[in-house]
Amino acid sequence: MTNTPSLAGAAVLPDDYVYDLLRGIAAYTASPLIADLAETATAHPAAALDNAFNHKQVACKAWLRDALHLTLGPAHPRVWVLGGWYGVMAAMLLDDPRFDLGEIVSVDLDPACAPIARQLNHRAAAAGRFRTRCADMYALDYSGADAPTLVINTSCEHLPDPRAWLARLPRGLPVALQSNDYFTEPGHVSAVPDLDAFIAQAGLGEVLYAGALRLKKYTRFMLIGRR
């Protein structure tokens, strides 16, 4: 039995504790992503990175990443991640050596997300492979000169009308979509009861992958296909 003080019940861990912990994990795993997360947590201590990197968020994004590789392959010249938040989905894709990616654009309506996403993805940003954009996904031009070759949206449950948004995309454009059945969350205005309901809601021209991932409080649904 040791007399080491416990951090249980502490409201906030010291910044250097979080930084040193993440740096230690980065050294152990040789992960540039964890090292970048350590720097981002230090530079933006008020950001909800604990939420963005919680086990459910990471599990759902890793599931998408693996299914995307198996379904649509590794090469994607220009990826738009809508509802990109802190750029975690982009960071996980860019960190995966299986992919041959050109540029990832992380789009979010909240301008406060951009500096955090850029910090987390600073290596890719410096190489011209990552940028942020503050915009409403309902107002974007998906067929312009810099149009995406793949659109990812992991927050379809938050959209007031997912079908209206999808109607803005060109026919045949590859998409990866996620939603859930977490109806008790106030912001989930378009949650669906099951996978079949999500398929009907999206109305994709071609569904290449459809699956469900059961989590503790809800089930996550995913579709990969073409608009």
Mean pLDDT value across the chain: 92
Same domain for 91 and 182, yes or no, is yes
Task: Assess whether pLDDT exceeds 50 at residue 3.
Answer: no
Same domain for 178 and 151, yes or no, is yes
Q: What would the two tokens of residue 223 be?
A: 């579709």
Task: Assess whether pLDDT exceeds 90 at residue 170.
Answer: yes
Same domain for 41 and 102, yes or no, is no
- Whether 89 is covered by a domain: the verdict is yes
Residue 21 is inside which H or E element, if any?
Answer: helix 15-29
Same domain for 206 and 173, yes or no, is yes
First to last CA, the chain: 60
Characterize 115-149 residue by residue with b for buried, 16 or more Cβ atoms within 10 angstroms of its Cβ, and e for exposed. ebbbbbbebbbeeebbbbeeeebeebeeeeeeebe
- Whether 101 is covered by a domain: the verdict is yes
Percent of the chain with pLDDT over 90: 83
Same domain for 70 and 138, yes or no, is yes
| Cα Rg, the chain, nearest whole Å | 18
Average pLDDT over residues 5-29: 67
- Whether 166 is covered by a domain: the verdict is yes
pLDDT at 14: 58
Same domain for 107 and 174, yes or no, is yes
- Whether 1 is covered by a domain: the verdict is no
Same domain for 100 and 29, yes or no, is no
Residue 169 belongs to domain with CATH number: 3.40.50.150
**Number of domains present in the structure of the chain:** 2
Task: Assess whether pLDDT exceeds 50 at residue 1.
Answer: no
Q: What would the two tokens of residue 201 be?
A: 């809601």
Same domain for 61 and 31, yes or no, is no
pLDDT tens for 194-211 read 999 999 999 999 999 999
Instruction: Identify which of 47, 66, 37 has the alpha carbon closest to the alpha carbon of residue 222.
Output: 66
Number of Cβ within 10 Å of residue 64's Cβ equals: 24
Domain with 100 in it = 55-226
Same domain for 125 and 194, yes or no, is yes
Alpha carbon separation from 148 to 12, 58, 134, 197, 207 (Å, rounded): 40, 24, 16, 27, 19
- Whether 98 is covered by a domain: the verdict is yes
Same domain for 149 and 41, yes or no, is no
pTM metric for this prediction: 0.90
- Whether 24 is covered by a domain: the verdict is yes
Task: Assess whether pLDDT exceeds 80 at residue 12.
Answer: no
pLDDT tens for 132-146 read 999 999 999 999 889
Sheet holding 75-82, edge to edge: 130-134, 100-108, 75-82, 150-153, 174-180, 219-226, 206-214
pLDDT at 19: 77
- Whether 3 is covered by a domain: the verdict is no
pLDDT tens for 36-87 read 999 999 899 999 999 999 999 999 999 999 999 999 999 999 999 999 999 9
Same domain for 19 and 85, yes or no, is no
pLDDT tens for 108-120 read 999 999 999 999 9
- Whether 151 is covered by a domain: the verdict is yes
Mutual angle of helices 113-120 and 32-43, in 10-degree steps: 150
Same domain for 120 and 42, yes or no, is no
- With cut-offs at 50, 70 and 90, classify the pLDDT of residue 4: very low
